[in-house]
Amino acid sequence: MKVVIQRVIESSVLIDGEVHGKIDQGLMILLGIEHEDTEEDIVWLVKKILNLRIFDDHDGVMNKSVLDINGDILLISQFTLHASTKKGNRPSYILAAKPEVAIPLYERFIDHIQSEFGKKIQTGKFGADMKVSLINDGPVTIIMDTKDKK
């Protein structure tokens, strides 16, 4: 699994012109799922995300997590994070999981992060054409890949 995590002041996702998810201060997360990803990847990634200290403390030092600030989370599925651009100019998405694998993992990711976070998160809709807006705070953008956990 790959994620792009952005510290935001606010973020929203529109589907068919309607707001599907909206948050204030917190994390906007783009999640890409590969066909080899497992429950172990979900557990590791959720723990890392929730404890990632990228919010300022009273001294202006990034020393607080989304849990510490009681922030919000907007999670968007994005298969294009697994684009391969090695050959030619058209990206290949062969590493991205097919929907029959990705959807159950995406849903388990949502369930697990909500359980560990202690509150509901906002989401996009898997496979939908989404318009994502955000105000990146900092800007702070972190990229993580579960293949790098060892």
pLDDT in tens, 71-122: 999 999 999 999 999 888 999 999 999 999 999 999 999 999 999 999 999 9
Amino acid at 116: E
CA distance 56 to 64: 6
Domain count, the chain: 1
- At a CB cut-off of 8 Å and minimum separation 6, what does 21 contact? 12, 13, 74, 122, 123, 124
Which CATH number belongs to the domain containing residue 93 in this structure?
3.50.80.10
CB atoms within 10 A of CB 30: 19
pLDDT interval class at 149 (50, 70, 90): confident
Parent domain of 21: 2-148
Residue 30 has pLDDT above 80, yes or no: yes
CA distance 126 to 68: 29
CA distance 111 to 15: 22
Whole-number average pLDDT of the chain: 96
Catalytic site positions: 80
Do the beta carbons of residue 126 and residue 79 sit within 8 Å?
Answer: no
CA distance 136 to 71: 14
pLDDT tens column, 31-55: 999 999 999 999 999 999 999 999 9
What token pair was written down for 80? 């294009």
Of 127, 147, 110, 95, which Cα lies nearest the Cα of 29? 110
Residue 150 has pLDDT above 80, yes or no: no
- At a CB cut-off of 8 Å and minimum separation 6, what does 137 contact? 7, 8, 9, 25
